[in-house]
Structure 1
C-alpha cells in the first residue's frame, strides 16, 4: 500500500509526464506529486506542432494536455522553467538548477528527446530551424507564412515524418520547398522503399522538389541570413530558411550521470527499462521518448518516439510506481497528416525485418492498407485514407497471424475474418 506521506517526482513536462501525474491521482494516490519541466509552458502535446497548429488550423491553447487550473485543482505541484541537474540515488533526491533539493520515494524520468543538430558550417545563421518545442513551432509558423507571401525557399534536411509534415505545411502556405534526403525514398528507415515511393509522388504532386542520395554540407549566408544550402554531390539550393529534420536523440544525460543503465544507439538508445518501465534502479522509472523498452511482444529493445507511446506509457509507469503489476506491451502506433492524406501505422517492421509488402486497396488513389510480412506473418500495417481498421490490424500483429497474401490483399474479405483463421 502506498503511504499518503510519500512523494512521487516526475521529471519532464510533456505528455508522458502530465498523463502520469493524472493517473497517479485517478488511481487514488494521495501523496505529493511534483512535476518538473524545463519549459515555462504547461505540458503540451507535440503532434500539433508539425500539423494543425503549424498550419494555422488549431489555436495555441489546443495543444495543452490540461488547462492550467487543472494542476492546482488536483494538487499537482508544478516547477516550470526548471532544469533537473542531478539525481542522488542514495539520498533519493533530485537537484534543480537553482540548487533546490527535492526528495522522492519514486521518480519518473520523462525527459523526452531533442532534435539532432546539423554538424556543418552555417548553422549559426538566423534562418536555420529545428522543430521540437512550442516556441520552435511559433517561430516556424511565422517563417512559413512569410516565405509563402514572398515566394521564399525552404530547404529541409531529412525526409522523415517531421520533414514531410513541415514540407506539406510549407506548401500550403505557398513556400517553395526542397527536401534533401540521403536515402533513395522518403521514410526509408520506417516504411522501406516500396511505400516510401508513394510519398515521393504525393509531395511531388504538390510541388515539393526532392534531392535524394545527398546530405547537406554547408549553409551559406550574408549578414547573418541564409542564402543557400550546399550538398555533398556539389549541388547548391537557393534558400531563405533551412530546417533540420534529421531525427531526435533521447535526453539521457541525467540518467547517465546517475549511473542508470542505458541502451546502445544500435537498439535505439534511451534509458533501459523492463516491461514495467522500471529502470536499473527499482525506485526510478522512465516513459515516453526516452525509454528504451524491453518489449514483450518483439523480444527486443524498442524506443518509440511517437505520441501514443507518451499517451499510454506515462499512465503505465504511474501504475507501476504505485506497485501495480504492469506489462507495457502495446503495439507501436503513430499517425500522420499530409495534404489530403491521413494515415495510421501500427507495428514495427524496419527494412531487413520483412520479406514482403502486401497492398490491400488502391495505392494509386492513396486509399489502401499496406502490410509488412516476414515468412507470411504480419509485422506491421499502415492504413492510408482508410479508417476504423486500427484494432483488427493490431490484432493481426499481436497474434502473429499468417492469413495468406491472397486474402490479406482482398478488400472484400473483412479484416475481422482474417483473425478467425
Structure 2
C-alpha cells in the first residue's frame, strides 16, 4: 500500500511520522512546494524574526528521520491535479505519483486585497520561511514596519519589530484589533499594551491603495487621504483554505475541504487535514468549522493516520490556540459559538504586576471557551471543563481568590 501526502507543512509532516509510529509498513511519499522539510510556522513571526531561532530549531524532524523511516520527500514541487479514477496526482514538474491512500494537507493561502498596488512585489505576506527572511532583512533600528491587518500574526510581527528597534504601525479596517477572533476585552487589552510599547494602532482605517513614496520602501494610502510610509509593508488580512486542488477534483468543499471525524473527504480514498479543512468539532456538538492552528493540524493528522492504519479513532480534542507577544502568552481553548455571557477573572490591566487574567465564555453555567493571558491555570482548567461539559459555580469562577482547582472540582 502507498500513501501519498500533498503538503509538507506541520499537518503533512506529522501525518507521515504518525503512519510509521502506528506501524504502517507501506510506501510513504511526502510532497511539498517549498524546498525545505516540514517546519514550524508559528515562530516565523516571533523567534525567527528576532533572530532567536535557526532552521534546525524550526524543523519538525531532522533530515535523517525521513531516511531512517523510509519516507520519501519530494520537495519544491506543486501538485496540479488529482486523477481520482486513476488514483494518481500530477505535479508541476510534469511527473505524477500513484496512490492507494491520499492525504491532502495544502494549508491556507493569504487573502488578497482588491485595491490598486496590491500586486506590488515589495508587499510581504508572512506564510513561509522566505517571507520571514524578507521581513527580517527589512527591520531594525531606524526602520518602519506598516502592518495591514490587526490579527494575531500582524500583532506578533509588530511586537517583533519593536524588539528589533523598528517603528511599527498597525492598520485595521474593523473598529478593534482581533475583532474576528477574540473578545472585546482581549482587543482592548492588547491595543493598550502595544501602544504602551510604542506601536501605533489605527482602527476603523480602510486601506485604498499601496503606493510609491519618495523616502521609504512604499506607502499605505488610507480612505481619509493619509499616506503611511514604511520600509516594509506586511499584509495580513486573513487566510483562505487552499482548496483549489480538491475542488477541481470534484471533492466537496465549503470554505475548506469537507471532512468527517476521521478526516476523510467525500472520496473514501482521500483524507484532508490542517488549515484547509472544514471539519466537525464534536466537543461543540453539531458545529463544523475551519480551524487554523497547530493543534488542529496535529489532531487531524492523528485522525487520518489512525483511519488508514485501522486503529481506533482518537478521542476528540478541545480546539486551542496561542499567541506570544512581548512577554505575554495568550492561550485560547474552545470556541465561543453559542455563548450567552462572559466572566472576566482577574483584571485586564497593562499596569498590573504581574499581568494576568482570563475571559470565560459560558452558555448557562457551562464554559465553552476561555481566553487566558499569562494565566496558565485558568487555561488548563478551562480546557478541561470544556471537554467535560460540566457546569461551574459562576461566583467561584469570577472570584480570583478561589483557585481554579476548586472551581473545577
Normalised by the length of structure 2, the TM-score is: 0.94
Structure 1 residue runs without a partner (length 5+)? 1-5, 264-268
Partner of 2:318: 331
Partner of 2:389: 400
Partner of 1:240: 231
- The 10-residue stretch of structure 1 (329-338 or 411-420) with the greater mean CA deviation from structure 2: 411-420
- For the pair 1:127 / 2:125, whether they are aligned, the reply is no
RMSD: 1.8
Show CA shifts across 1:300-352 (max 9, x none): 211111111112321221111223332562111111111111121111116xx
Alignment of 1:229-308 (within 5 A): 229-263=220-254, 269-298=255-284, 299-308=286-295
Contact persistence 1:110–1:288 (CA under 8 A): yes
The counterpart of 2:211, out of the listed 220, 224, 236, is: 220
Alignment of 1:20-419 (within 5 A): 20-145=15-140, 148=141, 151-222=142-213, 226-263=217-254, 269-298=255-284, 299-326=286-313, 329-349=316-336, 353-364=338-349, 365=352, 366-419=355-408
Structure 2: distance between partners of 1:416 and 1:113: 38
Aligned-pair distance for 1:224? 12
Contact persistence 1:12–1:112 (CA under 8 A): yes
3-state SS of the aligned residue for 2:147?
strand
Contact persistence 1:125–1:225 (CA under 8 A): no
CA 1:328–1:155 in structure 2 vs 1: closer, same or farther (change >3 Å)? farther
Aligned-pair distance for 1:355? 3.1
Show CA shifts across 1:230-265 (max 9, x none): 1123322222221101011111011001100011xx
Structure 2: distance between partners of 1:414 and 1:198: 23
3-state SS of the aligned residue for 1:398?
helix
Contact persistence 2:243–2:276 (CA under 8 A): yes
Contact persistence 1:120–1:218 (CA under 8 A): yes
CA 1:139–1:346 in structure 2 vs 1: closer, same or farther (change >3 Å)? same
Partner of 1:266: none
Structure 2: distance between partners of 1:156 and 1:62: 26
Aligned-pair distance for 1:102? 1.4
Aligned-pair distance for 1:98? 2.2
Normalised by the length of structure 1, the TM-score is: 0.92
CA 1:133–1:177 in structure 2 vs 1: closer, same or farther (change >3 Å)? same
CA 1:355–1:233 in structure 2 vs 1: closer, same or farther (change >3 Å)? farther
3-state SS of the aligned residue for 1:228?
strand
Aligned-pair distance for 1:223? 8.3
- The 10-residue stretch of structure 1 (410-419 or 130-139) with the greater mean CA deviation from structure 2: 410-419
Aligned-pair distance for 1:225? 6.6
Aligned-pair distance for 1:118? 2.4
4+ aligned runs moved over 4 Å, structure 1:
222-225
Aligned-pair distance for 1:399? 2.5
CA 1:91–1:300 in structure 2 vs 1: closer, same or farther (change >3 Å)? same
Structure 2: distance between partners of 1:98 and 1:200: 46
Structure 2 residue runs without a partner (length 5+)? none
3-state SS of the aligned residue for 1:288?
coil
